[in-house]
Chain A
Amino acid sequence: MNARLHRCGEHAVLVELDRLEEVVALYDALAADPPRGIVDIVPAARTLLVRFEPPARHNEVESAVLAVRPAGGRLATSEEVVIPVEYDGDDLADVARLTGLTEREVVAAHTGTAWTVAFCGFAPGFGYLIGGDPRLAVPRRPESRVRVPTGSVGLAGEFSGVYPRESPGGWQLIGRTETVVWDIAADPPALLRPGVRVRFAEAM
């Protein structure tokens, strides 16, 4: 693991890695046994932001991060959720055109493999899912939509995701689900947390 450390203000270190799988493995190891003083870890596509509080200092947090030996490459969680999807998204035809697949083949590819939540971002409970069929990699839409409805299922780059609530968004929308992925009354409030495995199923 080739970790590059960048100090980020007085109380955070940005850990940069080469691959998302390394981010996920390091996140799992740090979250399972957080070194002293660490109060928040934000995993992202190639980085982990490690926030700490005094009396912890940069030097000791950096040493602690470098001393972690992530287990395996994959996530250890056994949790799996099934998300039923109506594949009638506004961009399904565009995704078919961009991937060279038929619309039915897009649906088959999206439901054909298990995805894993790599990290959350953009909005509370918005999980970035990885590990899907590589043929589904598509660019974001050239222009963002002002309003993407709650439950929209989208694709962008190597990721798939479910919009937790109505918001602006630029992902290619292939369908929508009734499954609630963000509920502040629930504990935990997010269904799609880092490490959770996801299977999409076509809603009948």
Chain B
Amino acid sequence: MSELRRALVVLAPGPLTTVQDLGRRRHSHLGVGRSGAADRGALRLANRLLANPEDAACLEVTLGGLKVRATGDLLVTLTGAPCPATVTYPDGRTGGIGHASVERLPDGATLRLGVPPRGLRTYLAVRGGIDVPEVLGSRATDLLSGLGPERPAPGSVLPVGPAPAEFPAADLAPVPEPESGVLILDVLPGPRHDWFAPGALTALCAEPYEVTAQSDRVGMRLRGPRLERARDGELPSEGMVPGALQVPPSGQPTLFLADHPVTGGYPVIAVVRDHHIDRAAQARPGQRIRFRVAGDHRPIRPRRP
């Protein structure tokens, strides 16, 4: 019998599903952004649970709605925003599967994801990783530049790579639920806080901002206290990072996420600290965010006598 290539067959992609890994490095001097999972920690966790390499490609599912069928027996896990997940087995039985747990998806079974009650992005990983061709060293889909795999559509067949030598060490990982109330995000001031009026940093942290509907993998437009500029004139475009709070003339900041432009022409008042960028990527439109200036953490050195 010929060996059937294991795969996930997409029956419905939901509002937005993309293939993601940890993105492209070392190409930004060519105008190529990093892209990759918006919630990198969730993608890493999914891969660790399946003993995949940490940067194996997964599906990033926005607000649920994904339906896939297994070709061949697969091991899968779901991380990020917890959502209802139902498996229909080939014999017609159905059952739910847990969050951040290692689950079997036998040949012919379908998995359907509902809308997560909290959080925005769920990661579906499969042991062996999604094995579509790499583009510039990554399988990430960059929605700003159009690089990387096509967005999965009904009928897309996503091949699964060979299982790694290691075996999963745990059946599930305890993970905190995404927050549904006001999100607290730590920021470091700069690089262009001197372009703003003296009270702007205080204003940024004083009142919560609301995540607007103009939010995607490129960035989240926020609505809240207006950040006044102290300097007029144009900033020549300069390099941007994930987590940057870029402030256009409207005074309303945009928080850049994974597919942010490589360079931007508006000043960045502050940058969200790394450990809170994943949290930001789970914020839903309508949710509120409060920023908090947190100092650079320095190594604690024992005082010399």
Interface residues of A (CB under 8 A from B): 6-12, 14, 27, 31, 39-49, 51, 58, 119-126, 165, 184, 188-190, 193-194
Q: Is B145 a contact of A48 with CB atoms below 8 Å?
A: no
Taken together as a complex, chains A and B put the C-alpha atoms of A126 and B31 apart, in Å, by 7
**Residues on the A chain within 8 Å of B31, using CB:** 120-126, 190
Taken together as a complex, chains A and B put the C-alpha atoms of A33 and B229 apart, in Å, by 38
Taken together as a complex, chains A and B put the C-alpha atoms of A163 and B271 apart, in Å, by 31
Q: Is B237 a contact of A121 with CB atoms below 8 Å?
A: yes
Q: What are 28 of the A-B contact pairs (CB < 8 Å)?
A: A6-B191, A6-B192, A7-B188, A8-B191, A8-B239, A9-B188, A9-B272, A10-B271, A11-B241, A40-B29, A41-B28, A42-B29, A44-B236, A44-B237, A44-B239, A45-B236, A49-B241, A119-B29, A120-B29, A120-B262, A121-B237, A121-B261, A121-B262, A121-B263, A124-B145, A125-B31, A189-B30, A190-B30
Taken together as a complex, chains A and B put the C-alpha atoms of A51 and B34 apart, in Å, by 12
Q: Decide if B5 is an interface residue (CB 8 Å cutoff).
A: no
The chain A residue sitting closest to B297, CB to CB, is A10
**Residues on the B chain within 8 Å of A11, using CB:** 241, 274
Taken together as a complex, chains A and B put the C-alpha atoms of A13 and B236 apart, in Å, by 17
Q: Decide if B268 is an interface residue (CB 8 Å cutoff).
A: yes
Q: Is A10 a contact of B274 with CB atoms below 8 Å?
A: yes
Q: Is B243 a contact of A9 with CB atoms below 8 Å?
A: yes
**Residues on the A chain within 8 Å of B135, using CB:** 184
Taken together as a complex, chains A and B put the C-alpha atoms of A120 and B239 apart, in Å, by 10
**Residues on the B chain within 8 Å of A125, using CB:** 30-31
Taken together as a complex, chains A and B put the C-alpha atoms of A40 and B188 apart, in Å, by 20
The chain A residue sitting closest to B299, CB to CB, is A57
Taken together as a complex, chains A and B put the C-alpha atoms of A122 and B144 apart, in Å, by 10
**Residues on the A chain within 8 Å of B240, using CB:** 49
Of A7, A40, A45, the contact of B28 (CB 8 Å cutoff) = A40
Q: Is A48 a contact of B239 with CB atoms below 8 Å?
A: yes
Q: Is A184 a contact of B26 with CB atoms below 8 Å?
A: no
Q: Decide if B190 is an interface residue (CB 8 Å cutoff).
A: yes
**Residues on the B chain within 8 Å of A51, using CB:** 28, 239, 241
